[in-house]
Amino acid sequence: MLPPAIEPHALLVTPDACERLADVLVHFPALAVFRCAGERALHEITGYTMHSGAIALGVRHQDGAVGELVACLARAVHLPARSADVLVAMDGITQTDNVGAIFRNAASFGARGVILSPRASDPFLRKTLRVSMGRAVNLPWARARDDEWPSCL
């Protein structure tokens, strides 16, 4: 199993979003799902308008290690076969839009994971997650330590 970096804890949704997410929510029986009256109520509660009817709260775990990521990917027989096993590496990318775009494109082109240099920006920043279209949550990634970068590549 690939190491999780974030574990969902609670979800605040509109009734419409709850219906759209029904097939996903069955996989998280312990997830607390709170429903609100609609888009306007969700906006008033959160202060954000770009949420598509759902906002999640998660518990962040420690960033994964590069060796752990590679070992998990090597054992991951349930992943679809690829013509080439590709890992994307980010060396010092700090602009949140760029980090999000790299995650989004890595997922689109079938990369198996992402390796971040010690100085690369955090993939879980709100803007990065929005630009990545959530791919930073479901694409495995690890952050290299100073003493292993760039030799881990």
CA distance 75 to 153: 19
Residue 82 is predicted with a pLDDT of 55
- The Cα–Cα gap between 104 and 24 comes to 20
Average pLDDT, integer, range 10-20: 91
Q: Could you tell me which of 30, 35, 36 has the C-alpha nearest to residue 58?
A: 30
Give residue 118's Cα distance to chain centre: 18
* Cβ contact 86:111 at 8 Å: yes
Residue 17 or 82, more confident = 17
Q: What is the pLDDT of residues 83-141, one digit of tens each?
A: 457 899 999 999 999 999 999 999 999 999 999 999 999 998 989 988 999 898 889 99
140, 3 contact by CB (below 8 A): yes
Cα–Cα nearest to 143, from 63, 59, 61: 63
Share the mean pLDDT of the chain.
Answer: 86
pTM: 0.75
What confidence category does residue 71 fall into, taking pLDDT thresholds of 50, 70 and 90? confident
Residue 83, pLDDT score:
45
Site of tokens 């879980």: 124
**Quick one: which of 60, 55, 59, 57 has its CA closest to 21?**
55
DSSP state of 139: S
CB 104 within 8 A of CB 136: no
Q: Which residue has the higher pLDDT, 80 or 96?
A: 96
